[in-house]
Amino acid sequence: MTTLSVNINKIATLRNARGENVPDLVATALDIERFGAQGITVHPRPDERHIRRSDVYDLRRHISTEFNIEGYPSPEFIDLVLTVKPTQVTLVPDAPDAITSSAGWDVEPNMDFLTHTVERLRQAHIRTSIFVGTDTANIRRAAETGTDRVELYTKPYADLYAKNPEQAVEPFVAAARAAHSAGLGVNAGHDLSLTNLEFFHKCVPYLSEVSIGHALICDALYLGLQETVKRYLACLKS
């Protein structure tokens, strides 16, 4: 079974635009759980332009599904996740001012850093996932850090999907197989949508989890949040 983790950063962005607590982030997360999603994802950034540190603590106290926190493993980020102890931490190589994640880790030059970080999280009984592209050698190196999973950066798939779905998904099939052979779980995320998710899920083996935020929240503007979550879950049951 492939689970759906909903990234609620955009809900926080909307709330922050007015400086009040509308929409209520925790209440929305609880609704998303109630609508059937199996996880909640947040990506707190140093400038707190969407998810705030206080949100992370509030969510941890209330949500009952998997809690996934994404971020660059700065000392401040590591202190936060070691205190909160979510189900999973996804390590991304973003610069502090990045608008969104735009590439996976080049593992080799960051091997010592990633290995040390994974070990600290493992000692706290937190599952780890390293954000990577589809290069199979890089994925095998990621396995050497001791991480539990990798998350495949799927924007290249989304960009090519409309033109050639088979060509778009081929590197991800190979990457998932390489990860599985190396003993890793496989997550995926970035620009997955109602347009391309079902095909991705049908083709890519060993897929444990997808993390989807921007497209899902955009769809919810037209369909409503409950119906949108329902439709994304349906893509993962095919």
Q: Which residues are catalytic?
A: 43, 70, 190
Tell me if 178 sits within 8 A of 136, measured CB to CB: yes
Tell me if 9 sits within 8 A of 47, measured CB to CB: no
- Rounded distance, CA 92 to CA 78, Å? 12
User: 217 Cβ partners below 8 Å, 6+ apart?
Assistant: 8, 10, 11
Query: What angle (nearest 5°) sits at the alpha carbon of residue 183, between those of residues 212 and 200?
Result: 35
Q: In the 8-state DSSP scheme, what is residue 82? A: H
Residue 78 vs residues 82, 86, 187: alpha-carbon distances, Å: 6, 12, 21
Q: In the 8-state DSSP scheme, what is residue 110? A: G
Instruction: Please report, as a single letter, which amino acid is at residue 98.
Output: A
